């Protein structure tokens, strides 16, 4: 563990006063994120900056004293990105949580990184607009964390991941310079696309201190369908057919298997139709024309039935839609309660290969004698295959998880996919990166990191080791 020198502590205390925390109980909370299988690592101190200038001072001091700095949003990450593996400084962006500007004329909003995503969604909604980013953690994760992870979520199919909505960033570089990238212009090919290099860089290239997001007109009508299927196979086989044959682009096409549904219903203490069915799909369509929306959902419903759905339920008001989504959005939480020892994966493949992914993953689980459940954003090819320890011994779990993971990643690669669609590499998948990226790609990542961060001070040990 890196020791924080007395002199450095004194300088930081002068800047931060009681926004610098050293108490053990406090540090513990900042030692981990939501990645079930990763242990925490204690930071030496936690700082709560309020301005980019304060962050700039921290980075200059950190370079001078060679102490690592780990940026942190809400700590909901699922790849260990906010864990400080060698201690040092955790820089929590929680208190930088102001909405800076709501620019209705340009349909843009500018916020600080600690704003909870859901606040942006609610504000946009009040103005008849939407923010298209919608991770299942939207009521707890920060927009800064979403940008750093290029978070996906439930509406990626229609609106794209977080990065599609970001038009400008203010960033404190690892060396302490404060840089503005982009602006409210829609088009910009002036130089390299630095914004999209920073998005998804998992807090390794800079600390995001201001974000400008584009908002979109809110569709007038929105309908969600719930389609239970007898088996996972039938549900997942229907996904590419729905996408190709329906002649419309759903805003969401989510998949939940029986174990996911049953544990979530138990967790929420609610009843769910056909909760003993093998799997359910949630399909949402939206638009401005009521007749067109109902034509779309009727066609989608018919295809579901042709593909073997046991029934199709229509949620056409806000209340019933929200109830449906509550179940989908609570799966990860229920999993943490009922199966605390698990490994939630995030493989992503081209949409048409999703049936092969699920069937292959089931075979891998069976071969290694592991329990498996799956849920996720099937319409965009991103499924959270999750291995569960259940009543297996610790030794069994440890010995079989690793080879199962490697086979899952190789399967995703061979299907034209990747090892993480939205949760990132962080600490969790670092050693598996060579399964999916070749030497030249990894050399480029390391080279870019060195240019941004010559002393390897910002979030070291994430994505790649230098
Ligand atoms: C129940 C649950 C559901 C989830 N659902 C989804 C989902 O649907 N889609 C999805 O993509 N993810 C999902 N996640 C994962 C997680 O919520 C996202 O990765 C989210 O973007 C993390 O945000 P955070 O504020 O918690 O960031 P943290 O976990 O605190 O940090 C994540 C990474 O971002 C870096 N970081 C944070 N803030 C900044 C900043 N301002 N500047 C630079 N780097 C920064 C950190 O160093 C770290 O590497 C879910 C997690 C949970 C627990």
Give domain status of residue 453, yes or no: no
Q: 166 is written with which tokens?
A: 């970001």
- φ/ψ of 232, rounded to 5, equals -60, -45
Q: 342 is written with which tokens?
A: 């698990």
**Average pLDDT per consecutive 10 residues, the chain (466 residues; last block may be shorter):** 94 98 94 95 98 98 98 98 97 98 97 98 97 96 98 94 98 98 96 97 98 97 97 94 92 96 95 94 97 96 97 93 93 94 97 94 97 95 96 96 98 98 98 98 98 98 97
* For the CA of 421, the nearest atom of ligand 1: 11
Give domain status of residue 430, yes or no: yes
Of 188, 217, 246, which residue constitutes the final position of a domain?
A: 217
For the domain that residue 166 is a member of, what is the CATH number?
3.30.465.10
Q: Are residues 108 and 199 in the same domain?
A: yes
Nearest residue (by CA) to ligand 1, atom 2, is: 137
Q: Which helix (H) or strand (E) holds 111?
A: strand 108-111
d(CA 358, CA 383): 8
Structural domain total, the chain: 4
Q: Are residues 127 and 158 in the same domain?
A: yes
Q: Are residues 177 and 262 in the same domain?
A: no
Give domain status of residue 159, yes or no: yes
Give domain status of residue 362, yes or no: yes
Of 193, 217, 241, which residue constitutes the final position of a domain?
A: 217
For the domain that residue 426 is a member of, what is the CATH number?
3.30.70.2740
Ligand 1 center to residue 250 CA distance, Å? 25
Q: 270 is written with which tokens?
A: 């609610």
Of 299, 332, 365, which residue constitutes the final position of a domain?
A: 332
Q: Are residues 170 and 190 in the same domain?
A: yes
Ligand 1 center to residue 68 CA distance, Å? 20
Ligand 1 center to residue 375 CA distance, Å? 19
DSSP state of 223: E
Q: Are residues 14 and 109 in the same domain?
A: no
Give domain status of residue 108, yes or no: yes
Ligand 1 center to residue 145 CA distance, Å? 4
Q: Are residues 134 and 229 in the same domain?
A: no
Query: In the prediction, which pLDDT does 203 show?
Result: 98
Q: Are residues 346 and 327 in the same domain?
A: no
Nearest residue (by CA) to ligand 1, atom 19, is: 77
For the domain that residue 281 is a member of, what is the CATH number?
3.30.70.2190
Q: 66 is written with which tokens?
A: 């060679």
Give domain status of residue 174, yes or no: yes
d(CA 67, CA 223): 51
Query: In the prediction, which pLDDT does 6 show?
Result: 96
Query: In the prediction, which pLDDT does 153 show?
Result: 86
What range does the domain containing 266 cover?
A: 221-332
Which protein residues touch ligand 1 with a CB less than 6 Å away? 33-34, 70-78, 81-82, 93, 113, 135-137, 141-142, 144-146, 148-149, 151-153, 202-203, 207-208, 332-333, 422-423, 426, 459
| Separation in Å, CA 389 to CA 264, 316, 335, 371 | 18, 39, 12, 7
Query: In the prediction, which pLDDT does 21 show?
Result: 97
Q: Are residues 276 and 234 in the same domain?
A: yes
Give domain status of residue 131, yes or no: yes
**E strand map for 176-239:** 178-182, 207-214, 216-217, 221-229
Q: Are residues 143 and 65 in the same domain?
A: no
Give domain status of residue 458, yes or no: no
Q: Are residues 207 and 237 in the same domain?
A: no
Q: Are residues 74 and 168 in the same domain?
A: no
Q: Are residues 114 and 81 in the same domain?
A: no
For the domain that residue 72 is a member of, what is the CATH number?
3.30.43.10
């Amino acid at each position: 563990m890196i020791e924080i020198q007395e002199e450095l502590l004194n300088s930081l205390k002068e800047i931060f006063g009681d926004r610098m925390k050293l108490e053990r109980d406090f540090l513990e909370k900042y030692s981990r994120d939501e990645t079930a299988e990763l242990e925490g690592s204690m930071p030496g101190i936690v700082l709560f900056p309020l301005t980019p200038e304060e962050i700039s001072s921290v980075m200059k001091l950190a370079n001078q004293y060679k102490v690592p700095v780990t940026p942190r949003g809400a700590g909901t990450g699922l790849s260990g990105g906010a864990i400080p593996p060698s201690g040092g400084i955790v820089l929590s962006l929680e208190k930088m949580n102001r909405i800076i500007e709501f620019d209705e004329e340009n349909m843009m909003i500018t916020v600080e990184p600690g704003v909870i995503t859901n606040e942006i969604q609610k504000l946009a909604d009040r103005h008849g607009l939407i923010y298209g980013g919608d991770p299942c953690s939207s009521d707890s994760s920060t927009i800064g964390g979403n940008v750093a992870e290029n978070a996906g979520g439930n509406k990626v199919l229609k609106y794209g991941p977080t990065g599609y909505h970001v038009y400008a960033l203010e960033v404190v570089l690892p060396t302490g310079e404060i840089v503005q990238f982009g602006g409210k212009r829609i088009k910009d090919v002036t130089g390299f696309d630095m914004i999209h290099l920073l998005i998804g860089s998992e807090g390794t290239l800079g600390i995001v201190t201001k974000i400008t997001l584009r908002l979109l007109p809110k569709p007038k009508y929105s309908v969600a369908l719930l389609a239970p299927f007898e088996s996972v196979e039938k549900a997942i086989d229907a996904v590419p057919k729905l996408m190709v044959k329906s002649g419309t682009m759903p805003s969401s096409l989510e998949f939940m298997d029986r174990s996911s549904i049953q544990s979530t219903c138990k967790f929420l203490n609610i009843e769910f139709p056909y909760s003993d069915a093998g799997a359910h799909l949630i399909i949402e369509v939206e638009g401005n024309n009521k007749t067109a929306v109902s034509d779309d959902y009727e066609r989608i419903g018919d295809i579901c039935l042709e593909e073997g759905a046991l029934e199709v339920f229509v949620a056409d008001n806000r209340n019933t839609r929200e109830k449906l989504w509550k179940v989908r959005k609570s799966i990860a939480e229920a999993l943490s309660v009922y199966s605390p020892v698990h490994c939630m994966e995030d493989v992503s493949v081209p949409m048409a290969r999703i049936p092969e992914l699920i069937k292959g993953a089931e075979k891998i689980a069976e071969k290694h004698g592991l329990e498996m459940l799956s849920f996720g954003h099937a319409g965009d090819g991103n499924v959270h295959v999750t291995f569960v320890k259940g009543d297996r011994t610790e030794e069994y779990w440890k010995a079989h998880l690793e080879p199962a993971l490697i086979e899952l990643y190789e399967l995703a690669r061979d299907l034209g996919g990747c090892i993480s669609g939205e949760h990132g590499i962080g600490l969790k998948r670092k050693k598996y990166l060579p399964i999916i990226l070749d030497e030249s790609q990894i050399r480029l990542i390391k080279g870019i990191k060195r240019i941004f961060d010559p002393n390897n001070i910002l979030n070291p040990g994430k994505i790649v080791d230098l």
